[in-house]
Amino acid sequence: MVENLQKTVAIVTGASSGIGRAIAKNLAAAGSNVVLVARRKQRLNDLATEIEKANGQSLPIEADLTSSDEAIRVVNETIDKFGTLDILVNAAGVMLNGDSIETPVKDWDAMVNVNLRGLMYLTKAALPHLKESAEKSDRKVSDVVNISSVAGRFAASQVAIYSATKFAVTAATEAWRQEYTRQHIRFTVIEPGKTATELFDHRVGENEAFEKMFGKVEELQADDIANTVHFIVTSPRRMAINEVVIRPTDQA
Ligand code: NDP
């Protein structure tokens, strides 16, 4: 991997698992100082050790992003340690789909609280620092990459609230893009299809809609999404990639 993110600082949420973990490793390999955020501290510590062994730098921070105070603390600890913030990747998410009569309202709340509120709190706390980095850093640009979903473009039966949170992520990303692009903060939304991670283990019971939608496709790998993020954040300053849909080739 070419070390083209030297001297940058990146926060990656969802770094304890799946897509977030792969993105964190990828950015660290490219020279970024990566702040690893999730609730499972041991997993973050293990990843930090792995990154260190590969001569990278990271800072694991255990945080529950459903709290605005926690999101603010993540950004404050990042600035205390590294002095700046250039890249924010919001990958933390939960998916608890199922029959809407059977699904407990706490599962819907959990998706809204992590997928939307968590992303919203952290983005808000990070924005002043991203703005400063876009003005003062060598890159003269900063990046926010939000992981939405194909469910953020197409609604499906039994996926109502997950889909609603991801449509919201897609909408907020576009609105923020318009608000901050002249200040050289690039906003990108990535909408992956089925990717081999623990996400599908969150869900209880069968999900007919998902089975129908996906069938037996050859899933994407978390590294496929990480490589896409790498391409986005290392693109030249003049080039902003606003939206990327990535489906498994077999996924109709
Ligand atoms: P994983 O379940 O593997 O990872 C989810 C991550 O979110 C974990 O690191 C988890 O960490 C973190 N997380 C969950 N709740 C919180 C919380 N309250 N505070 C902080 N972190 C939290 O799933 P994926 O890697 O697949 O998911 C990453 C993103 O990609 C999600 O936004 C998901 O919606 C999206 N996506 C995934 C697809 C797929 O097919 N896998 C397809 C489309 C989009 P911890 O539990 O340690 O807190």
Q: Map out the domains of the chain as residue ranges.
A: 9-246
Measured from the CB, is residue 11 less than 6 Å from ligand 1? no
Q: How many CB atoms lie within 10 A of CB 211?
A: 10
Predicted confidence (pLDDT) per residue in 92-150, tens digit: 999 999 999 999 999 999 999 999 999 999 999 999 999 999 999 999 999 999 999 99
Q: What's the CA-to-centroid distance between 138 and ligand 1, angstroms?
A: 32
Buried b (16+ CB within 10 A) or exposed e, 47-64: bbeebeeeebebbbbbbe
Mean pLDDT of 3-20: 95
Q: Is the pLDDT of residue 204 over 60?
A: no
Measured from the CB, is residue 65 less than 6 Å from ligand 1? yes
Q: How far apart are the first and last CA of the chain?
A: 32
CATH architecture of 9-246: 3-Layer(aba) Sandwich (3.40)
**51: three-class secondary structure by DSSP:** helix
pLDDT at 208: 62
Q: What percent of the chain has pLDDT over 70?
A: 94
Report the nearest atom of ligand 1 relative to the CA of 66: 18
**84: three-class secondary structure by DSSP:** coil
Residue whose CA is at the smallest distance from ligand 1 atom 36: 149
Q: Take residue 155 and report the two structure tokens written for it.
A: 């609604």
pLDDT at 243: 98
Residue of 162, 167, 176, 180 with catalytic role: 162
Q: Is the pLDDT of residue 180 over 80?
A: yes
Compute CA distances 41 → 12, 16, 85, whole Å.
Answer: 14, 8, 22
Predicted confidence (pLDDT) per residue in 47-62, tens digit: 999 999 999 999 999 9
Distance, CA of 182 to chain centre: 23
Q: Is the pLDDT of residue 205 over 70?
A: no
Report the nearest atom of ligand 1 relative to the CA of 92: 7
Q: Is the pLDDT of residue 3 over 90?
A: no
Mean pLDDT of 204-210: 59
Residue in 11, 12, 16 to alter for ligand 1 test, most ligand atoms within 8 A of Cβ: 16
Report the nearest atom of ligand 1 relative to the CA of 166: 34
Q: Catalytic residue at 162?
A: yes
Q: Take residue 94 and report the two structure tokens written for it.
A: 């939960």
Q: Is the pLDDT of residue 213 over 70?
A: no
Q: What's the CA-to-centroid distance between 16 and ligand 1, angstroms?
A: 9
Mean pLDDT of 183-199: 96
